[in-house]
Amino acid sequence: MNYSIFYAQFKQKNSTTYNHKRDKKMLLAIDIGNSHTVLGLFNHDQLLGQWRFQSDRNRTEDELAIQCHGLFSLIGVDCGEISHCILASVVPTLEKVWVFWCTKYLAAHLAQPLQVVTAKWIKQHLSIRTEHPEEVGVDRLVNSIAAWQKHQCNLVVIDFGTAITFDCVRACGEFIGGLILPGINISLTALSAGTAKLPPIDLSVGPDKVIGTNTIQAMKSGILHGYGALVDGLIQRILAEMAVSQETCKVIATGGMAHLIAPYSEAIHEIDPTLTLTGLHFLSTHCRNAGKEAIRVADPRNDPGANNG
């Protein structure tokens, strides 16, 4: 199992102190992406734990149970303490397995059925001004609503995931569309696979300068400075089309690769690694008392749908 995110605070707190400060009404937020799945465990407004692991399409609900039990146990949480669960997915096959896991291992403890995010649900909180709202990936909409609820200004949200998405939100709370382009890992894989002498590279240490004096440095500079310049150039064009200024529009970066590109971009104002989880927390909290028509209740007998892009 490949777990790449752990908060240091969990290493510093013993389970007695942790248990003393929480109740048994916690929210589990699940963000299923093409490359990684991220779990967030909330106690009211506090994010207690966040975990990222590979999105394995061959994993069963029983394997997920073992994995989640181990992760929750590390911070002293039992599945029986989870009272609400919300899921956003862009991978239909994985969504189905997570729904089965929730039904089999969580449903008996939940105060209401698993909530699965759809564009129709989000439209109650964010106006979606695109030609086909149902085609917009729910991860993009969740990010947008989280950013707008926090800042309530003109926004561009950049998610550095398997694909890189630019999502544009007006100050009035309108999602007006965006851009989608190949992610960093896709570009790196294509570069190495499609050439005879360009090796895979590690981007954790950046280049010393823009002009590389060896192959590795040239590749690092091309990716990091290249994507940074790409971000800056696209932001200029987006702001011009939105007819807003840099002073009145906030650019927020999120996603697993955001921290790599942000230092090479002048346009990014803020990195928010928990933006999607924050959006899921908002949706779950504000929709718990809504009617059934406001949410999609997962039914494991049917294949769950998901939006892509």
Active-site residues, by number, are 139
User: What DSSP letter does each residue of 185-229 carry, written as one string?
Assistant: HHHHHHHHHT-SS------SS--SSSS-SSHHHHHHHHHHHHHHH
Contact yes or no for 55/185 (Cβ under 8 A): no
User: What DSSP letter does each residue of 75-128 carry, written as one string?
Assistant: TT--GGGEEEEEEEES-HHHHHHHHHHHHHHTGGG-SSPPEE--HHHHTTTSEE
According to DSSP, the β-strands at 82-89 and 115-116 are: parallel
Which residues, other chains included, contact 50 with Cβ-Cβ below 8 Å and sequence gap of 6+? Answer: 5, 7, 38, 39, 40, 41, 274, 277
DSSP 8-state secondary structure symbol assigned to residue 298 = P
